[in-house]
Amino acid sequence: MNTSSSILSETLSVDKKESQNKSHGESHSDDLVGTATEEIGGGSNDGAVAVARTLRIATPRVFTSFLIPARYKGAYGGRGSGKSHEFAKNTVVKCLSAPGTRGVCVREVQKSLKESVKRLVEDKIRALDVEYGFGIFHDHIVTPGRGVLLFQGLQDHTAESIKSLEGFDFAWAEEAQTMSHRSLEFIRPTIRKPGSELWFSWNPRSASDAVDALLRGPNPPPGAVVVQANYADNPFFPNELEAER
């Protein structure tokens, strides 16, 4: 598989003050072993206000298969393997590269937003230095081109209320090992827009859990991209976690 760079063709228009032709990378780690680089946009200045900007974002090699579209994308593995950061980054990149993107970040139970990945996504927006395109509100994030990111607990949904998510471009289920069969069967047909994607990140605990049965069972959906990641695959693995191993 080609694990080198991937070019996303969308051009980002940014305020001129933002356009210092900087190269942005959340970790400046383009040269880290085990990373690839993806780029959004080009580098030319087309006038007084709108300019294009290039983002250079390091992707751990273990996750480079997520750079191409797939209906199902799953990352499973042990603590600290970079799964949550990877999908948080992909959330922001998707919103930047396809204006108007609507995404929902779900978990089985979400008693408060503090339990959601909202803070992580916000941090990722800041780390990538793309705040100008996003609006951060109490319970949602407005994305470039009037899109939106929502953060919801699947257990709070009924068969009727889940339909509010039809027309969404992607759903990311975090801690997906806790997802019930009911919730999985709710979300799969709901995310039905052409080209829409379902993402799952989880720490496996039982082969009979719904996400494991779907993505690691004998008959995964055709074209599903499922990746096992462990701490050694995480080029950003922090010293604090090393000490806890």
Which residues are near Mg ion by CB under 5 A? 84
Q: What is the spatial distance between Cα 221 and Cα 242, in angstroms, rounded to a whole number?
A: 35
* From ligand ATP, Mg ion, none, interface partner of 37 (C-beta below 5 to 8 A by class): none
Q: Is 118 in the site for ligand ATP (CB under 6 A)?
A: no
Angle among Cα 222, 227, 231 to the nearest 5 degrees reads 170
Cα pseudo-dihedral 92, 93, 97, 100, rounded to 10: -20
* From Mg ion, ligand ATP, none, interface partner of 85 (C-beta below 5 to 8 A by class): ligand ATP
Strand order in the sheet with 35-40: 6-8, 35-40, 55-60
Judge whether 143 and 134 are in contact, CB under 8 Å.
yes
CA 166 to each of CA 62, 103, 109: distance values in angstroms, whole numbers, following the listed order:
31, 10, 20
Query: What phi and psi values does residue 181 have, to the nearest 5 degrees?
Result: -60, -40
Judge whether 170 and 98 are in contact, CB under 8 Å.
no
* From ligand ATP, Mg ion, none, interface partner of 53 (C-beta below 5 to 8 A by class): none
Q: What is the spatial distance between Cα 141 and Cα 175, in angstroms, rounded to a whole number?
A: 21
Interface residues for ligand ATP in 84-103 (CB under 6 A)?
84-85, 89
Q: Is 74 in the site for ligand ATP (CB under 6 A)?
A: no
Q: Closer to ligand ATP at the Cβ: 76 or 134?
A: 76
Least distance in angstroms from the C-beta of 38 to ligand ATP: 12
Count residues binding ligand ATP (CB under 6 A): 15
Interface residues for ligand ATP in 14-33 (CB under 6 A)?
26-27
Least distance in angstroms from the C-beta of 199 to Mg ion: 13
Binding string, residues 176-215; x marks residues near ligand ATP by CB under 6 A: ---------------------------x------------
Q: Is 34 in the site for ligand ATP (CB under 6 A)?
A: no
Which positions touch ligand ATP (CB under 6 A)? 26-27, 79-85, 89, 203, 234, 236-238
